[in-house]
Homo-oligomer: A and B are copies of this chain.
């Protein structure tokens, strides 16, 4: 591991994209430091951060002077660079080199980007007719159960995205046993890194549910 500088990740764990990056770094034991950027305080819009990422978005990764934005690109870059310059080496199953298998990950990450924005799924789940949530479940079933890769980039991208609804005090998987079982399996593989990355989400959930009346709590949880 000597000789490889720690990467620096600029994150706010309220963002599912940031959580995905942190889980990946921790789970794969990639040497890293974290710079917390609080979106709620507008720290992603300061002149200093704007210089780093003119699009004023999180996450951002710095690797020995190379600055990269967009969580998908960051995760794929880490897989690519650590397959040649490790240790630690990121196992191939995360982002397989075989074109057909890799294409399945790219297919899902592209679909995910275009169809399940965090805010949209969260808002739709809370306010609308569950159509987007159902569409997501259809995709999860299609993309995951037909191609049973448990530990690929797409696994925790979608899981982390679905978890966003916990901020609203709801667990949208609770009546879906097949998906619950899949979540348990992914969580058990990722173990501590998953819970650590989701601590901010759990805190928001707990604050939110503490404010609810006993009646609403029963209906929500």
Contacts and interface: CB of A to CB of B under 8 A. Distances in A.
A176 to B, nearest CB: 18
Number of copies: 2
Contact of A106 (B70, B84, B99): B70
Contacts of A113: 110, 113-114
Main secondary structure of the interface of A (DSSP, over half): helix
A54 to B, nearest CB: 6
B80 A139 contact: no
- Nearest first, the 7 closest Cβ-Cβ pairs linking A and B are A113-B113, A73-B106, A73-B107, A77-B103, A70-B110, A80-B99, A72-B110
Interface of A: 54-55, 66, 68-74, 76-77, 80-81, 84, 99-100, 102-104, 106-107, 109-111, 113-114, 117, 138-139, 142
